[in-house]
Structure 1
Amino acid sequence: MHLGSKDLAARDALSRDVVDWLLQRPEWRAMGGRDHFLVSGRGTWDFIVSPDAVGWGNALMTFPAILNATPRGDGYTRKSTFDTILAGCIPVFFHPVSAYLQYIWHLPRDHRSYSVFIPHGDVVERNASIEEVLSRIPPAKVARMRERVIRLIPTVLYRDPAAKGVTFKDAFDVALERVIDRVAKRRRAAAEGREYVDSVDGKFSWKYDLAQDREKMLAPHEFDPYINT
């Protein structure tokens, strides 16, 4: 099995062969693997080995991923959302509040530029197959989305305060700049004898935050069913 080989390609060859073979099996294709499970022992010792490590094991469980499903957990957003971005994977969301309506400061307003949205109702009611939706995305678009995700990484992490020579803005920097900007606008408005409004109050405020346009705010939006129910 070459588990102790110094040749990394040889060490991982059997794992890749198993994955390729399994994907071609009619039993797997019948339900896209949803009725399969993998039983393994000594997972950390045998199958979670750094690709540049020398010694026993292979990297079966650490093969690179391109897209990662991030369904809701106890709340709308799970830790896996940020783990996905930090890993350079394209997040797949099933509810707009999981990211789009919460992290306006840190994530692009155009959610299609870095993520995939599949309505959870379509999945639950079997009107959409996650695998089929993802497989229809052209490779060129996937590449562009991954590049956008990679550029987002600094904005969703906290850098070590002791780090030297770091010039990028992390999540704290982004939030602090927006807070300072908001305070400055409030002060200018007060000096001019008027009240500054950050966004539109009420149930349509999320539309204004996404579009920053009062006219578009009143127009129908794809996320209306999730917010108005």
Structure 2
Amino acid sequence: MENAIAGRCSHQLWLVFLILFVLCFVLFHFDYSTMMPADNELPFSLDQINPVAVSENQTHLATNQSVTDESVGEESDADTCLGRYVYVHNLPSRFNYGLLKNCQSLTRGTNSNMCPYLANLGLGTEIENSQGVLSNQSWFSTNQFSLEVIFHNKMKRYECLTNDSSLASAIFVPYYAGLDISQYLWSPNISVRDSPGKDLLNWLVERPEWKKMWGRDHFLVAGRISWDFRRQTDDASDWGTKFRFLPESQNMTMMSVESSSWKNDFAIPYPTNFHPFKDSQVIEWQSSVRTQDRSYLFTFAGAPRPDLSNSVRGVVIEQCRSSKACKFINCSSEGNECDNPVNLMKVFRRSVYCLQPPGDSYTRRSIFDSILAGCIPVFFHPGTAYAQYLWHLPGNGTEYSVYIPVKDVKNWNGSVEKILLGISKDKELAMREEVIGLIPNIIYSDPRSRLESFEDAFDLAVNGVLERIERVRCVIREGKDPSIGFAEGDDYKYTFSEWQGYEKDPLF
């Protein structure tokens, strides 16, 4: 009897083992098949999650990409870069790095030499002897035309770069457009002036990334004003190139230190001399200018423009020179007082208001130097700031500036000093505090580091262009034509009519 029972138990155990073996085999095969790539699909690569070094011939990075597979469930972190990925084109070196190697040729037609200004990733040489005017470190002899180099170097450390262009929300074109055309701006041959831009566009349109949105997700940065790229005729006497009027270029967004009246151009701040590498340096500087004694009511730093006889600049200089409450800093070749940023910042820090009349163009680097010093800017034309830096300055200009609209200098007999004296002390203090709060918005931090608590001018510019491109995608998803309005002109952008409210806003 015991042998019979043992035989039956042995048989049952064998059957159980057989069934368990079959189940394990099926489960193992199913689980393994889910890990294998589908047809025509590559397995996940380590290159997708590990950053690669940036060299002259490689200007884009593979970012850390969070796993978004639904099978992971709540265990995975949200992809903080979703909607913010940027792919950087690896351009032939003649469009960027090659220009830096031949820096002696970048200022043909002038007596300037750009080479020293290209040190330290475009920041220029460090200012060591600041005579106690500037904070320790983070101050450089930065040229106003070096923005595209600084921006590119900051983009290399952008936290949401990707080497997979299919993931990118925007495509950055690291073309040093301003430095490139500076070689040819004084050439009487317009074909020579236009050829570099045409060569770039010919290269871009052959890339698969271009065909995705025909360039409307592409953007570039220029260190010169947009008008330098918008020559409207083929007359050799006309200034600039026609790069932004070429059909392919019109499909891209360009950020520059001054925008044109076309809607595919956006203004971002001129680079200042202050490039902090940590948050504490920003806070320290803000505290310093907040407690600064200001002995001058107003200041103007600039050079006369004898060829602009009907310019408000001439009136401003005349009124400043005749007032004991104003300090005039002569930036002409005779005065030569503005080349040293220490001298300039010393006066701006001691001034309540800094006058910003238009000069050769609507905007001035001095706008941002004055904000940096805690000096309240005074504008005379809407195109100097209000119609320009929409991503970086408040929409209500009266929060941080004084607006004295001068439509026709021949008919204007106002007194700048009288207007400024009429502003109450409470209003002055409120404006200055707003100006000091804007300092992080208008500086480009050192490309070799990142600010933790502040968004700088670079961050705000990238956010702005990403939002613009996403709006274009929304138009496409709605089945509409994305070209409508993308590159149209805005003839009212620089007129006074849009800013009449500023005149009525109380200053007292």
CA 102–63 in structure 1, closer or farther in 2 if over 3 Å, else same: closer
The answer on whether the counterparts of 1:91 and 1:114 sit within 8 Å (CA) in structure 2 is: yes
- Of the candidates 323, 328, 331, which is equivalent to residue 32 of structure 1? 323
Which structure dedicates a bigger proportion of its chain to helix? 1
The answer on whether the counterparts of 1:199 and 1:205 sit within 8 Å (CA) in structure 2 is: no
- 1:64 matches 2:350: yes
Mapping of residues 65-214 of structure 1, within 5 Å: 65-121=351-407, 125-163=411-449, 166-195=452-481, 201-203=488-490, 206=493
Question: For residue 84 of structure 2, what is the aligned residue in structure 1?
Answer: none
- Aligned-residue offset at 1:190: 1.3
- Aligned-residue offset at 1:223: 5.5
How far apart, CA to CA, are the structure 1 residues paired with 2:394 and 2:427?
16
The answer on whether the counterparts of 1:113 and 1:148 sit within 8 Å (CA) in structure 2 is: yes
How far apart, CA to CA, are the structure 2 residues paired with 1:94 and 1:182?
29
Deviations 1:30-70 (A, max 9, x none): x53499999xxxx9xxxx89xxxxxxxxx8x5762111101
Larger Rg: 2
CA 112–183 in structure 1, closer or farther in 2 if over 3 Å, else same: same
Measured on the aligned residues, the alpha-carbon RMSD in Å equals: 3.7
The answer on whether the counterparts of 1:182 and 1:198 sit within 8 Å (CA) in structure 2 is: no
| Residue aligned with 1:206, SS | coil
How far apart, CA to CA, are the structure 1 residues paired with 2:397 and 2:489?
23
Question: For residue 213 of structure 1, what is the aligned residue in structure 2?
Answer: none
How far apart, CA to CA, are the structure 2 residues paired with 1:62 and 1:222?
27
CA 103–173 in structure 1, closer or farther in 2 if over 3 Å, else same: same
Deviations 1:156-181 (A, max 9, x none): 11001223553211111111111111
The answer on whether the counterparts of 2:354 and 2:370 sit within 8 Å (CA) in structure 1 is: yes
Question: What amino acid sits opposite 2:439 in the alignment?
Answer: I
How far apart, CA to CA, are the structure 2 residues paired with 1:76 and 1:107?
16
| Residue aligned with 2:441, SS | helix
Question: What amino acid sits opposite 2:463 in the alignment?
Answer: E
Question: What amino acid sits opposite 2:323 in the alignment?
Answer: G
How far apart, CA to CA, are the structure 1 residues paired with 2:472 and 2:410?
45
Question: For residue 216 of structure 1, what is the aligned residue in structure 2?
Answer: none
Deviations 1:56-107 (A, max 9, x none): xxx8x57621111011122111111110111111100111101111111211
CA 175–156 in structure 1, closer or farther in 2 if over 3 Å, else same: same
The answer on whether the counterparts of 1:122 and 1:128 sit within 8 Å (CA) in structure 2 is: no
How far apart, CA to CA, are the structure 1 residues paired with 2:327 and 2:437?
35
- Aligned-residue offset at 1:204: 5.7
The answer on whether the counterparts of 1:68 and 1:92 sit within 8 Å (CA) in structure 2 is: yes
With normalisation by structure 2, the TM-score equals 0.29
- Aligned-residue offset at 1:126: 4.6
CA 200–111 in structure 1, closer or farther in 2 if over 3 Å, else same: farther
| Residue aligned with 2:493, SS | helix
- Aligned-residue offset at 1:182: 1.4
- Aligned-residue offset at 1:150: 1.1
Question: What amino acid sits opposite 2:493 in the alignment?
Answer: W
Question: What amino acid sits opposite 1:175 in the alignment?
Answer: A
Unaligned segments of structure 1, at least 5 residues = 1-15, 20-30, 50-58, 208-219, 225-229
How far apart, CA to CA, are the structure 2 residues paired with 1:204 and 1:72?
18
How far apart, CA to CA, are the structure 1 residues paired with 2:327 and 2:401?
27
Which structure dedicates a bigger proportion of its chain to strand? 2
Number of aligned positions between the proteins = 166
